[in-house]
Structure 1
Amino acid sequence: MPAMTTKDGVEIFYKDWGSGQPIVFSHGWPLSSDDWDAQMLFFVAKGFRVIAHDRRGHGRSAQVADGHDMDHYADDLAALTAHLDLKNAVHVGHSTGGGEVVHYLARHGESRAAKAVLIAAVPPIMVKTATNPGGLPKDVFYGLQQQVATNRAQFYRDLPAGPFYGFNRPGVKTVEGIVQNWWRQGMMGSAKAHYDGVVAFSQTDFTEDLKKISLPTLVMHGDDDQIVPYADSGPLSAKLLKNGALKTYKGFPHGMPTTQAETINADLLAFIKG
């Protein structure tokens, strides 16, 4: 399996298909690069080089005890781009992966990148604070950690079967294979990484990171996102970016890259080529 080793000795698994302009995909919590199947296949067929990695502690990457925070996530992404010597790359991040992309660009610079896309992403900050009154209470995220710690297998079944893909909405038919694939990806990863990762995606404040990014950046968010609520994320990120554009999807869920792949892929392609 293709893998690279970070400076702190963590083996990171990645996929690298095709040639042409690189598109680098950063996945959400607690999944893996497999969550990008619909995008990887679409874009490699369009003549792009597509790359996706399993975040440390997730998927097929090493299940280390430490480093499950945004600084390490960003540094791992920087190490991957250097290892593959990527230039003119488009970085696409979903959910927690959107935070990873933002922090990477702000922390390591834009010299290797051309554009960025944030899909249903966690920035600017998810948790409720004095400066983010529209955020979610910290108890919500503590509850997620408790479910990871006490009954991860059932929790990883209930989340995709319910709010993640909007399968709990009236008239929306559950796609059993999608639910099982989410569960499979989640259970491949480390409970420790997932437990710590809740703090990383919910309490990291990306406000100053967003302000530093000058690349053309597309913010894509569904207004029925039950995981990263729309009003406190997408519109706020787009305003903080120097060169940001917001595209809102009426009724789309958090997991829209999978359930609405045809729409998302077409809009991604238009932005990358635009």
Structure 2
Amino acid sequence: MSDTITTPDGVTIYFKDWGPRDAPIIFFHHGWPLSADDWDNQILFFLHHGFRVIAHDRRGHGRSTQTSTGNDMDTYTADLVALTDTLDLKNAIHVGHSTGGGEVARYAARAKPGRVSKVVLISSVPPIMLKSAKNPGGLPIEVFDGFRAALAANRAQFYVDVASGPFYGFNRPGAKVSQGVIDNWWRQGMMGGAKAHYDCIKAFSETDFTDDLKKIDVPALVMHGDDDQVVPYADAGPLSAKLLKNAKLKTYKGYPHGMATTHADVINPDLLAFVKS
């Protein structure tokens, strides 16, 4: 089924909940500025393998309310608590891509006992993206200011440029470009709210997930491509894997940020192997 819940502050959160009620649960968390639809390939794959699959549109994204407030990681997590409590999800495996990986980290660190059984971070923003004295390998604030300026000036064109360039590595020599993938990224992005997407740039770039990662003790898989042009590999995947108590790092040579789409034939079986381990 597809359905909605209403959060305590009156925001409607859209979600999909497909598969047998008593099957093992995988909950997918999308990246900026996308929606639950970004997981179509994984959802169909895991449905075929007998899982119950759930994915939601974060507030301000997709079919959820286009909020002007609460576009921050703590509120995203509170929304997620409301949803998982409503569905009474137990022993769920939470899989996050990019910004969704940050959401998974914060939620898993704060979730009630028994809610989360495993976590997967794919091309994810933790520990923290922004460059600082404590994080010298991060990206300078000017990069994210550039994102904000481009979004405010011409969001539609900015989203074309991101999807047709660095997100999927389509700007690399010899890349196999899919116009359908570009169009679908743009479609999802333009469904959401400009204010929410603008605010979320700060949320995904400046939130420090270091303490969250240290608190997570369930098995974790960190998957990251070493040609990620959006969340650079060296300042993300390896550092997150070190901070997690029980993690395995899997590095994909030459893979882009959106590798779950461009290389689903590799990523999905690797996810399945971890889920079943």
TM-score, structure 1 as length reference: 0.99
The question of whether the paired residues in 2 share the 8 Å contact of 1:15 and 1:53 is answered with yes
What does 1:223-234 align with in structure 2 at a 5 Å threshold?
Answer: 223-234=226-237
Q: Give 2:12's aligned residue.
A: 11
- Where has structure 1 moved over 3 Å in runs of 4 or more? none
What does 1:162-241 align with in structure 2 at a 5 Å threshold?
Answer: 162-241=165-244
Cα deviation code 1:190-238 (max 9, x no counterpart): 0000000000000000001100000100000000000000000000000
What does 1:99-138 align with in structure 2 at a 5 Å threshold?
Answer: 99-138=102-141
Query: How far apart are the structure 2 equivalents of 1:258 and 1:7?
Result: 34
Name which of structure 1's ranges 105-114 and 142-151 shifts more when overlaid on structure 2: 105-114
Deviation at 1:110, TM superposition (A): 4.4
Name which of structure 1's ranges 73-82 and 37-46 shifts more when overlaid on structure 2: 73-82
> Is 2:100 the partner of 1:97?
yes
Query: How far apart are the structure 2 equivalents of 1:80 and 1:217?
Result: 22
Cα deviation code 1:121-167 (max 9, x no counterpart): 00000000111000000010011011111100000001010010000
Q: Give 2:28's aligned residue.
A: 25
Cα RMSD, aligned residues only:
0.7
Cα deviation code 1:230-258 (max 9, x no counterpart): 00000000000000110000000000010
The aligned length equals 274
Q: Percent identity?
A: 68
Query: How far apart are the structure 2 equivalents of 1:44 and 1:79?
Result: 24
The question of whether the paired residues in 2 share the 8 Å contact of 1:119 and 1:220 is answered with yes
Query: How far apart are the structure 2 equivalents of 1:109 and 1:216?
Result: 16
- Unpaired segments ≥5 residues, structure 2: none
Aligned-partner SS, 1:254: coil
Question: In structure 2, what residue type is equivalent to 1:218?
Answer: L
Query: How far apart are the structure 1 equivalents of 2:49 and 2:124?
Result: 25
Query: How far apart are the structure 2 equivalents of 1:243 and 1:159?
Result: 34
Deviation at 1:109, TM superposition (A): 4.0
1:83 to 86, 111, 117: 86
Query: How far apart are the structure 1 equivalents of 2:55 and 2:87?
Result: 12
